[in-house]
Structure 1
Amino acid sequence: MTTDSALTSEQILSAAEDVLRQFGPAKATVVDVARTLGVSHGSVYRFFPSKAALREAVTERWLAQAHDELRFIAIEAGPATERLHRWLTVLFAAKRKKAFDDPQLFATYMTLVGENSHTVDAHIGTLIDQIAQIVQDGMETKEFRLAHINSTARAVFEATAHFHNPAHAASWSDPAADERFEALWKLILGGLAAKA
């Protein structure tokens, strides 16, 4: 049991994740989160003014876990071609893992996508910025042909949407999904590669 005075936002977010996993996004309430922590629901509201704000914070934290690994790939040294392929592969693997290993929180993410949440928009912006970093590096090393960096990064992100957009999650368990991903990667690489 947590006392109201010792309560932290991280404790609330962890409890909210547990509640969302147990009840799903439609049935989970702030009262359930407070009950899990052994505090009043007013204590939770001091940190998060509404159920929607709490749900967004949980999703933001959940998505941020994927950002770190991808961010390191985006900024590390090495050939841009290899980094971009690894970045896309890690993104696909992370989304697939979240969909299959954490279906209740994935359902919460899907709810936020449907609401056009600023959390999801920020997540997508972060991912596109990371692709842009790799594309810029590839242009500087002449691995990739010169192009508008941000437009190219967005095009790569959108072209690969089938492998990271939650709307396509049902197809990610298909045994041929990895093969289709690699075929798409070859097309993208062909479009990015500098002419000899």
Structure 2
Amino acid sequence: MPSTTETLTAERILEATEEVLRRHGPAKATVVDVARALGVSHGSVYRHFRTKAALREAVTKRWLDRTSERLAGIVTAEDRSPEQRLRDWLAALFEAKRHKAGDDPELFATYTVLVDGLGGVVHDHIADLTGQLTRIIAAGAESGDFAVPDPATAARAVFHATGRFHDPGYAREWTEPGIEEEFEAVVALLVRGLRAAG
């Protein structure tokens, strides 16, 4: 059990909440369990997160933000063409989601349940991801690599067209034989559709 003299921060609470969710699942995990894992009273947890729902929302947002942060560096990688950034970004998103599902299946299943009840957090996450895609596609439109009149519309289309490779509802398919080739085929088709006529 952690030392109670260590400062209780929102980050420590979120780390403990992840561990409690991993062990107990979303249906059985309680704020009391989180407090016990931290060696504090549940009132101490409530001082940082006013409700159990607020705590669940924060831990889910933190989990989703890890993916967004991982992808953000690709958006600004000026040493790569917009097409390469787009390919790298889509591959990194697919890989990030596969790792979450495969490396920690209990926590992935827990977050899938939590995400279903947190429409605002999911909407913000998708808006962030499509915003990143928009920036990549806009850079391609500016350079002449892509022929798209509206990068935001194109970004949403690309995001939805690749849903099979990042939507948790498809997680069971991510380890199937041939999934890499199918991913590459979809990305190649999308890139051809975005390219400027030569």
**TM-score between the two structures when normalised by the length of structure 2:** 0.94
CA contact (8 A) 1:3 1:39 kept: yes
Q: Are 2:176 and 1:174 aligned? A: yes
Partner of 2:104: 102
Q: Which runs of 5+ in 1 are unaligned?
A: none
Partner of 2:33: 32
SS at match of 2:27: coil
Is the alpha carbon distance of 1:105 and 1:76 closer, same or farther for their aligned partners in structure 2, counting shifts above 3 Å? same
Partner of 1:137: 139
Partner of 1:122: 124
**Residues 66-75 or 105-114, more deviating:** 105-114
Cα RMSD, aligned residues only = 1.4
SS at match of 1:24: helix
How many aligned positions are there?
196
Q: CA deviation at 1:5?
A: 8.3
CA contact (8 A) 1:171 1:177 kept: yes
Partner of 1:158: 160
Residue 52 of structure 1 aligns with an amino acid whose one-letter code is A
Is the alpha carbon distance of 1:46 and 1:116 closer, same or farther for their aligned partners in structure 2, counting shifts above 3 Å? closer
Q: Which runs of 5+ in 2 are unaligned?
A: none
**TM-score between the two structures when normalised by the length of structure 1:** 0.95
Q: Are 2:55 and 1:54 aligned? A: yes
Question: Using the alignment, how far apart are the partners of 1:113 and 1:192 within structure 2?
Answer: 31
Partner of 1:90: 92
Question: Using the alignment, how far apart are the partners of 2:27 and 2:101 within structure 1?
Answer: 17
Q: Give the % identical residues.
A: 51
Question: Using the alignment, how far apart are the partners of 1:5 and 1:190 within structure 2?
Answer: 55
Is the alpha carbon distance of 1:17 and 1:176 closer, same or farther for their aligned partners in structure 2, counting shifts above 3 Å? same
Question: Using the alignment, how far apart are the partners of 2:65 and 2:103 within structure 1?
Answer: 17
Question: Using the alignment, how far apart are the partners of 1:2 and 1:127 within structure 2?
Answer: 38
SS at match of 2:26: coil
CA contact (8 A) 1:25 1:108 kept: yes
Q: CA deviation at 1:112?
A: 3.2
SS at match of 1:172: helix
Q: CA deviation at 1:116?
A: 4.3
Residue 63 of structure 1 aligns with an amino acid whose one-letter code is L
User: What stretches of structure 1 move > 6 A for 4+ residues in a row?
Assistant: none
Q: Deviations over 1:104-147 (max 9, x none)?
A: 32123212332242111111111000000000000011110032
